[in-house]
């Protein structure tokens, strides 16, 4: 049975009876100023208290970890209740039962790969110290929904109550968010991205290590949504962001250290092409039968009706069959995890302790970038890569023969076998989702020292080149300079291609091309909101780069990894693409030099602001992706999501931003109250001390 709901909160916002209190909170008490109270020492706290600041960030002070996590469950339910319950309903494989036919594909996938069964087994196998926080988080969710039933939509209330097993299922699902075998693989693979920096004392103007966390994820309400929070107990004081539905901070810092993640390019699963024969599949010279069972899926229909659908699941020696056509089928073999280490990482105090936790519970599919108050910086190409006898990255990135047992892996590489570097001599670490070889200028990151299938080789991406360029140079970085450079909007490709393009258009082009060349010649190479020329270059690059043979006159060289490639390699294609781009931009926007911020907007709940930043594939470090409605401005839907800049000074300096706000709940002011910072290229203050929080308080709750 799920745990009983925790007692409702006792808010000190106004001294009212319970019913009046609930109505007052729902009517907007959270936005009213709250008189400061005498701040207790964290060591003497006996009950969990949530202090909500002006941006909807909960500061949870609790006597122990369970109390803090219970408070996090309450806080997530308050700001993201419907989204959180929808995610849990999907992980149960009952989304179609709750919400209808359009969610059936999600249920089929979840049951095909066996997530509900795996979650049940893994949850039951957890020791009590790990199971208790999951139960506590669920208690917090249930308690909030019980105290404020009208705050949850009727269609999502049916998921209640939730349990620790539901929470654990979400943890396991996050470990495979980027699985290319998913039905929504195209969306996930396009969506993945992040920047990260760690700066050593030798490169820092203050002599303190610094960290930049800058994930790029969709702004739509999904399992990618970040929730900013602060958890404080006598044993820890951790600030950062959780993905909605998770009971811990996934990117965070405390008084001793901090870390962030970027998605890496490991292959943690293998796809096998099976030859179907006689009701089974061929393997090792014989025909084997599938393991077969059937799951009954309920599907909600119009009104209150339901129908049932049978899902026949087939499993081979490789793993579950996820697709079939004719005489072929596709099976997937995934690395399974039973835990993620972040619950323990939040309280880590040293690099040695931090790495020990990563060794025990590997983080699937993510690089870890770290800095601490002792001046250490650290990088690990995290995850669990299957151990193969031979083959390069490309071999294992596509389906391999399922009939040959030589392709069936049974072991994985351990923590120490993956690319890792500590305190590189150059004094910086960076990652922008490129292969690990460019994370630092360090001999430890030599591709020749690792199997070819660990990671692809080749050049750094345009965004990675920009990242490295922003970090390197003779001067030491101040905290303010790190924040300023994080907002860099220049396109890495612009200085490599624009001078040649302008020269070619002026020398050989028509009046039309010369006019376009004049716009590009005046362009500053950036995607600032007032930049004129960025739209034309974007339209040209989208046409030229896929069609040119070759795109660059001088290709990429490992001897000059940042300076190459450069110069137009296919002038005829370049000029044709420029003419087509000019026609398209003028037809759509009216002027060739239309300002970037006029065409690209930040829009949510009536707020409409100019956007800056752009496509990472063209080398913009401040990544923003836009949805194009076909006419009218494009709207930002992806990119910079949660950002944090930390300096491990005494006291710690930190600034952060959750671009789309810290709530998805309809009507919340915290859906739009940080967009202005983002439009102005600023980060907002982070408050961690009781005095700072009390000075910026909007609501107080006691659980």
Write the pLDDT tens digit of every residue in 590-630: 999 999 999 999 999 999 999 999 999 999 999 999 999 98
Task: Check residue 339 and give its pLDDT.
Answer: 86
> Residues 154-177: what's their mean pLDDT?
92
Q: Which band of pLDDT confidence, cut at 50, 70 and 90, is reported for residue 542? A: very high
Report the C-alpha gap between 117 and 292 in whole angstroms. 15
Task: Check residue 45 and give its pLDDT.
Answer: 72
| In the block, residue with structure tokens 């909101």 | 529
Report the C-alpha gap between 297 and 550 in whole angstroms. 52
- Give the count of beta carbons closer than 10 Å to the beta carbon of residue 88: 25
Report the C-alpha gap between 354 and 28 in whole angstroms. 41
**Chain Cα centroid distance, residue 231:** 21
Contact between 516 and 592 under an 8 Å Cβ cutoff? The reply is yes
What does the CA dihedral 454, 455, 457, 459 come to, rounded to 10 degrees?
-160
Residue 99 pLDDT greater than 90, yes or no: yes
Task: Check residue 387 and give its pLDDT.
Answer: 94
Pull the structure tokens for residue 17: 């009876």
Report the C-alpha gap between 439 and 464 in whole angstroms. 9
Q: What is the pLDDT of residues 420-475, one digit of tens each?
A: 999 999 999 999 999 999 999 999 999 999 999 999 988 899 999 999 999 987 88
3-state secondary structure 434-453: CCHHHCCCCCCCCHHHCCCC
Q: Where are the alpha helices (DSSP H) in 413-567?
A: 462-471, 479-486, 494-508, 511-522, 534-547
Q: What is the pLDDT of residues 353-368, one digit of tens each?
A: 999 999 988 777 789 9
Contact between 152 and 145 under an 8 Å Cβ cutoff? The reply is yes
Task: Check residue 393 and give its pLDDT.
Answer: 94
Pull the structure tokens for residue 396: 């294992």
Report the relative pairing of strands 400-401 and 377-381 from DSSP bridges.
unpaired
Q: Which band of pLDDT confidence, cut at 50, 70 and 90, is reported for residue 18? A: very low
Residue 158 pLDDT greater than 60, yes or no: yes
Report the C-alpha gap between 439 and 257 in whole angstroms. 19
Q: Which band of pLDDT confidence, cut at 50, 70 and 90, is reported for residue 40? A: low
Question: Which helix H or strand E contains 198, and what residues bound it?
Answer: strand 194-199
- Give the count of beta carbons closer than 10 Å to the beta carbon of residue 503: 14
Task: Check residue 176 and give its pLDDT.
Answer: 67
Percent of the chain with pLDDT over 70: 91
Residue 35 pLDDT greater than 70, yes or no: no
Contact between 204 and 213 under an 8 Å Cβ cutoff? The reply is no
Residue 32 pLDDT greater than 70, yes or no: no
Pull the structure tokens for residue 374: 């002792």
Compute φ and ψ for 564, nearest 5 degrees: -110, 155
Task: Check residue 42 and give its pLDDT.
Answer: 66
Which region holds residue 574: left if phi is over 0, alpha if psi is between -120 and 50, else beta?
Answer: alpha
Residue 126 pLDDT greater than 50, yes or no: yes
CA-based end-to-end distance of the chain:
22
**Chain Cα centroid distance, residue 355:** 22
Residue 16 pLDDT greater than 90, yes or no: no
Which region holds residue 520: left if phi is over 0, alpha if psi is between -120 and 50, else beta?
Answer: alpha
Task: Check residue 361 and give its pLDDT.
Answer: 82
Residue 33 pLDDT greater than 70, yes or no: no
Report the relative pairing of strands 328-334 and 210-218 from DSSP bridges.
unpaired
276-293 per-residue burial string, b: 16 or more CB within 10 A, e: under 16: beeebbbbeeeebebeee
- Give the count of beta carbons closer than 10 Å to the beta carbon of residue 481: 15
CA atoms within 13 A on the CB side of 588: 23
Q: Of 291, 283, 386, which Cα lies nearest the Cα of 334?
A: 386
Residue 39 pLDDT greater than 80, yes or no: no
- Give the count of beta carbons closer than 10 Å to the beta carbon of residue 334: 20
Q: What is the pLDDT of residues 223-237, one digit of tens each?
A: 899 999 999 999 999
Q: Which of 246-250, 332-336, 371-375, 682-686 has the lowest mean pLDDT?
A: 332-336
Task: Check residue 330 and give its pLDDT.
Answer: 96
- Give the count of beta carbons closer than 10 Å to the beta carbon of residue 453: 22
Task: Check residue 473 and give its pLDDT.
Answer: 79
Report the C-alpha gap between 449 and 436 in whole angstroms. 12
> 397 or 188: whose pLDDT is higher?
397
Q: Record the pTM.
A: 0.91
585 SS3 class:
helix
Q: Where are the alpha helices (DSSP H) in 152-282?
A: 154-157, 164-174, 185-191
Task: Check residue 24 and give its pLDDT.
Answer: 33
What does the CA dihedral 612, 613, 615, 617 come to, rounded to 10 degrees?
160
What is the overall mean pLDDT for the chain? 90
> 242 or 459: whose pLDDT is higher?
242
Q: Which band of pLDDT confidence, cut at 50, 70 and 90, is reported for residue 44? A: low
Task: Check residue 38 and give its pLDDT.
Answer: 45
Structural domains of the chain, ranges and CATH numbers in brackets: 10-174+689-703 (1.10.439.10), 269-334 (2.30.120.10), 494-620 (1.10.1400.10)
Handedness of CA 467, 469, 470, 475 (dihedral sign): positive
Task: Check residue 679 and give its pLDDT.
Answer: 96
> Residues 70-74: what's their mean pLDDT?
98
Q: Which band of pLDDT confidence, cut at 50, 70 and 90, is reported for residue 396? A: very high
Report the C-alpha gap between 23 and 151 in whole angstroms. 10
Report the C-alpha gap between 361 and 626 in whole angstroms. 36
| In the block, residue with structure tokens 């151990």 | 387
> 657 or 192: whose pLDDT is higher?
657
Task: Check residue 180 and give its pLDDT.
Answer: 53
Q: What is the pLDDT of residues 487-525, one digit of tens each?
A: 999 999 999 999 999 999 999 878 999 999 999 999 999
Q: Which residues on adjacent β-strands are paired with residue 702?
A: 49
Q: What is the pLDDT of residues 306-340, one digit of tens each?
A: 999 999 999 999 999 999 999 999 999 988 888 88
Report the C-alpha gap between 188 and 192 in whole angstroms. 6
- Triad 43, 47, 50: Cα angle to 5°: 95
Q: What's the full length of the chain, in residues?
A: 703
């Amino acid at each position: 049975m799920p745990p009983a709901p925790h007692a409702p909160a006792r808010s000190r916002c106004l001294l009212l009876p319970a019913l009046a209190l609930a109505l007052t909170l729902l009517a907007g008490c959270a936005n009213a100023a709250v008189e400061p109270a005498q701040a207790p020492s964290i060591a003497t706290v006996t009950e969990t208290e949530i202090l909500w600041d002006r941006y909807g960030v909960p500061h949870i002070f609790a006597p122990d970890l369970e109390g803090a996590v219970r408070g996090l469950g309450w806080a997530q339910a308050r700001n993201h209740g419907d989204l959180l319950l929808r995610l849990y309903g999907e992980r149960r494989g009952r989304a179609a039962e709750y919400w209808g036919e359009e969610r059936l594909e999600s249920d089929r996938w979840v049951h095909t790969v066996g997530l509900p069964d795996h979650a049940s087994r893994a949850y039951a196998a957890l020791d009590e110290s790990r199971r208790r926080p999951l139960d506590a988080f669920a208690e917090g969710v249930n308690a909030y929904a019980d105290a404020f039933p009208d705050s949850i939509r009727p269609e999502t209330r049916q998921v209640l109550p939730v349990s620790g097993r539901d929470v654990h299922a979400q943890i396991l699902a996050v470990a495979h968010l980027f699985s290319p075998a998913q039905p929504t693989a195209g969306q996930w693979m396009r969506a993945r991205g992040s920047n990260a920096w760690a700066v050593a004392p030798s490169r820092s103007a203050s002599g303190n290590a610094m960290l930049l966390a800058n994930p790029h994820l969709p702004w739509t309400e999904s399992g990618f949504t970040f929730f900013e929070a602060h958890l404080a107990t006598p044993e820890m004081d951790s600030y950062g962001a959780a993905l909605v539905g998770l009971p811990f901070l996934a990117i965070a810092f405390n008084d001793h250290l901090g870390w962030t993640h970027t998605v890496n390019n490991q292959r943690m699963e293998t796809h096998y092409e099976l030859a179907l024969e006689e009701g089974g599949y061929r393997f090792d010279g014989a025909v084997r039968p599938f393991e077969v069972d059937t799951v009954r899926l309920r599907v909600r229909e119009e009104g209150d009706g339901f129908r049932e659908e049978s899902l026949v699941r087939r499993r081979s020696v490789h793993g579950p069959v996820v697709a079939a056509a004719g005489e072929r089928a596709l099976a997937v073999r995934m690395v399974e995890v039973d835990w993620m280490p972040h619950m323990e990482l939040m309280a880590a105090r040293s690099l040695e302790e931090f790495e020990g936790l990563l060794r025990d519970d590997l983080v699937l599919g993510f690089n870890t970038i770290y800095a601490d108050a002792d001046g250490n910086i650290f990088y690990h190409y995290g995850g669990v890569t299957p151990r193969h006898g031979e083959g390069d990255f490309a071999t294992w990135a596509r389906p391999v023969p399922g009939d040959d047992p030589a392709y069936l892996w049974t072991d994985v590489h351990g923590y120490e076998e993956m690319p890792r570097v500590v305190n590189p001599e150059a004094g910086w670490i960076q990652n922008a989702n490129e292969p690990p070889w460019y994370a630092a200028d360090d001999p430890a990151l030599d591709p020749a020292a690792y199997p070819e299938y660990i990671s692809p080789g080749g050049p750094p991406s345009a965004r990675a080149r920009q990242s490295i360029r922003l970090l390197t140079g003779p001067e030491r970085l101040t905290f303010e300079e790190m924040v300023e450079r994080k907002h860099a909007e220049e396109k890495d490709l612009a200085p490599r291609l624009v001078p040649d393009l302008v020269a070619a258009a002026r020398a050989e082009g028509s009046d039309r091309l010369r006019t376009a060349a004049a716009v590009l010649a005046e362009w500053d190479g950036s995607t600032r909101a007032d930049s004129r020329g960025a739209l034309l270059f974007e339209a040209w690059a989208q046409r030229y780069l896929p069609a040119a043979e070759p795109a660059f006159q001088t290709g990429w060289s490992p001897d000059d990894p940042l300076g190459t490639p450069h110069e137009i390699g296919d002038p005829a294609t370049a000029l044709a693409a420029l003419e087509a781009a000019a026609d398209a931009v003028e037809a759509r926007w009216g002027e060739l030099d239309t300002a970037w911020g006029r065409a690209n907007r930040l829009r949510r709940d009536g707020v409409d602001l100019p956007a800056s930043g752009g496509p990472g594939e063209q080398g913009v470090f401040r990544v923003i992706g836009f949805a194009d409605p076909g006419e009218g401005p494009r709207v930002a839907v992806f990119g910079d999501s949660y950002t944090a800049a930390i300096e491990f000074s005494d006291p710690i300096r930190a600034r952060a931003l959750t671009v789309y706000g810290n709530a998805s709940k309809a009507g919340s002011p915290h859906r739009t109250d940080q967009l202005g910072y983002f439009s102005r290229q600023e980060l907002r203050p982070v408050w961690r001390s009781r005095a700072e929080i009390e000075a910026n308080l909007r609501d107080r709750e006691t659980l």
